Structure 1
Amino acid sequence: MYLIEIYIQEVTRRLPEKNRSDIALELRSTIEDMLPDNYNDNDVKKALEKLGSPVSLASGYRDQPMHLIGPRYFDVYMSLLKMVLPIAAVISLISMLAEYFIGYTGSEAIINIALRLMGEGIWRIIEVGMQVFFWVTLTFAILERTDKGKDGIPLTASLQKWTPDDLKNITYIPKKKAISKVEVFGGLMWTAIWATLYFYANHLVGVYRGGNEGLDFKIPALNQDVLLQYWPIVVVVIGLEILLSLYKLIKGQWTKRIALFNTVVQLVGTIVFIIILLNPNLLSSEFTTFMADLFTINPNQFKTSLTGGILFIYILSAAISAYDGYKKAKIGTEGQVR
């Protein structure tokens, strides 16, 4: 009887106070019906084993689920989290960068600010991630407990029961043809990085030396006035890259149109890059002299080698990107279920 009373206690303590007495009587009667007339401890253990864990049994008696997010909403919950978290992270990083650069006075080397931004950026992503996780989880936990459907059947993104007709709205995407969100947001992040380097080159690109408070920016590598002569066409390239990333996000897979758009972006970007790079006044004379002395070569040789090397790498990467886009776009849909 001791084991029976403990088992009933473990079940009823997980139930609302108003239902405990009735369920305790019902459960005690059920257990007694399962036992022989002259039962012993082994008989009691066998009967309780058939009834199962007190947690599972209590869950069957409750009107509310004993889990935070159940199978009915779990797939929708995870899909929403995966979609919202990266967007929220990117927006928080962009806003943080904007705050710093708007308030930048030029008294501190950008490299020191960049190192501080790395640490603060990580913390900002964690903070935003926790906020998104909390509010999305809270929303679905409330849905779980207010939903009157007790069948437990998982719901689709439209919060309806799944039917075969839902497959008509889904496009089959081969794995090698798919465009991941990491690729999309990586592209946006790269655009933000090189655009920052372009507009703040006189504070970012150049020679650094150790100082009392970290690295001090000593010699700018580029003439900012020369760079800013080309800002209208650079803004066009930035806009094209952003549009390409958004197009990739919407489509979710490589197509001939995306491959063509990517090729146009690479071609325009390469032409603009060549025009800027071949400007004879792009490199600052102080930087050229410093680097030529460092490598013990003629300043003109240094400029030619640096320009040629950067140009070769850029053209090669642009060609590879364009080729890779067309290659992925040509991947067929073999194995698609019809």
Structure 2
Amino acid sequence: MTTTTTLTERYISATIRSLRPETQDDVRAELEASIADAVEARLEQGETPEAAERAVLTELGDPGVLAAGYADRPLYLIGPRFYLTWWRLLKLLLTIVPVCVLGAVALGQTISAAPVGEIISTSILATGGAILHICFWTTLVFVILERSNSTTAIGKWDLDQLPEPTEKGVGRSELIASLVFLGISVGALLWDRFRGFVVVDGDPVPVLAPSLWPWGIGLLLLLIVAEAVFAVVLYRTRRWTTGLAVANTLLALAFLAWVVILLVTGQLVNPEFLAQIAAAGGEGFAAGQAESAAEGGVFRIVAVLLGFGIAVGVGWDIVDGWVKASRAGRV
């Protein structure tokens, strides 16, 4: 008799100890009655008292789960009501914020002329910290909403949220736009070399360094021709493929390497053009140059910003190509 009483009492105590004090007596009485009835039913079927009690308590299950049912308390962090909203928001934030943090930290470190190792390590640490904070705080907000039984309509869905249909192929308009843009780029290079976008005393001052002709600009023209061929092949294929995504990535990285190498070595922009800008800036430019001397001067800062801007554009082009190839593969 002692063993039976001990097991039942232990089970009931484990169940009610996490409940509010004012409800514990009622739950205890209910459990004692239901357990006694269930045990008695099993005794009538010929089971021993010990076996009957163990079977009844086993069927009731984990006392923690039973207590949660009495308290109407969910046993999960985020339930189905908020789960999809939490997951969509988390994916959106993880897509945008870490990339912005990585770029901002790397840009700041580069402008301050930090060593390459420090730039990489600081950027990675900052990005990792941003990811951890996004995951923790976003989840915490939805846990609070779930635990507080919030009635907010944050997760309400309607027909306006249906995604727009995506294009399954590559249209002629995209081909024309690509070829027109590449043609304008070639025209801009030739105009800068022979007519000049900047004219001083009747003489053209090229923006790009004249020393880039013919080999440096020739390499850029080859990349432009390759981009034109790629646009035509893409149009004829009618859809993005893994091979085209790889080719797009290689072309984008080749262009980025061309720009970055010339920027870093100071061979991209015409020194005479920079001198004209410095002269036109007067005392204000001189003051800015002196203030930014620790970072290498105004022109170096502008070069870093230009390089990062081009890198962002190239990165977007690469990611966009792979996303389109992935979507086309699922069609």
TM category, shorter: 0.5 to 0.7
Aligned residues: 220
> Which of 155, 159, 168 does residue 155 from structure 2 map onto?
159
Contact 2:15–2:64 under 8 Å retained in 1: yes
Q: Where do 5+ consecutive residues of structure 2 fail to align?
A: 195-205, 241-323, 325-331
Change beyond 3 A, Cα 1:305–1:270 = closer
Distance 1:45 1:274 in 2: 88
> Which of 118, 124, 148 does residue 122 from structure 1 map onto?
124
What's the counterpart of residue 196 of structure 1?
Answer: none
User: Where in structure 2 are the equivalents of 1:16-27 lying within 5 Å?
Assistant: 16-27=20-31
Distance 2:10 2:227 in 1: 74
What's the counterpart of residue 249 of structure 2?
Answer: none
* Aligned partner letter, 1:144: E
Report deviation, 1:131. Answer: 1.4
Distance 2:82 2:143 in 1: 9
* Aligned partner letter, 2:162: I
What's the counterpart of residue 282 of structure 2?
Answer: none
Q: Alignment partner of 2:74: what SS?
A: coil
Instruction: Note if 1:79 corresponds to 2:88.
Output: yes
* Aligned partner letter, 1:32: A
What's the counterpart of residue 136 of structure 1?
Answer: 138
Higher mean displacement: 125-134 or 47-56:
47-56
Superposed CA offset, 1:21-58 (max 9, x none): 33223212211111127552221122123322223212
TM-score by length of 1: 0.51
What's the counterpart of residue 96 of structure 1?
Answer: 105
Cα RMSD, aligned residues only? 4.2
Over the matched positions of the two proteins, sequence identity in percent amounts to 25
- Of the two, which has the highest radius of gyration? 2
Contact 1:270–1:315 under 8 Å retained in 2: no
Distance 1:320 1:91 in 2: 33
Distance 1:268 1:49 in 2: 74
Report deviation, 1:18. Answer: 4.2
Report deviation, 1:168. Answer: 6.1
> Which of 19, 34, 40 does residue 30 from structure 1 map onto?
34
User: Where in structure 2 are the equivalents of 1:141-220 lying within 5 Å?
Assistant: 141-147=143-149, 158-160=154-156, 166-167=158-159, 169-171=161-163, 173=165
Instruction: Note if 1:268 corresponds to 2:272.
Output: no
Q: Alignment partner of 1:57: what SS?
A: helix
TM-score by length of 2: 0.52
Q: Alignment partner of 1:67: what SS?
A: coil
Change beyond 3 A, Cα 1:145–1:93 = same
Contact 1:267–1:318 under 8 Å retained in 2: no
Q: Which structure shows the higher helix fraction? A: 2
Distance 1:68 1:323 in 2: 50
Q: Alignment partner of 1:36: what SS?
A: helix
What's the counterpart of residue 8 of structure 2?
Answer: 4
User: Where in structure 2 are the equivalents of 1:61-72 lying within 5 Å?
Assistant: 61-72=70-81
* Aligned partner letter, 2:80: P
Q: Where do 5+ consecutive residues of structure 1 fail to align?
A: 150-154, 174-252, 289-299, 330-338
> Which of 41, 49, 57 does residue 50 from structure 2 map onto?
41
Report deviation, 1:69. Answer: 1.0
Report deviation, 1:86. Answer: 1.2
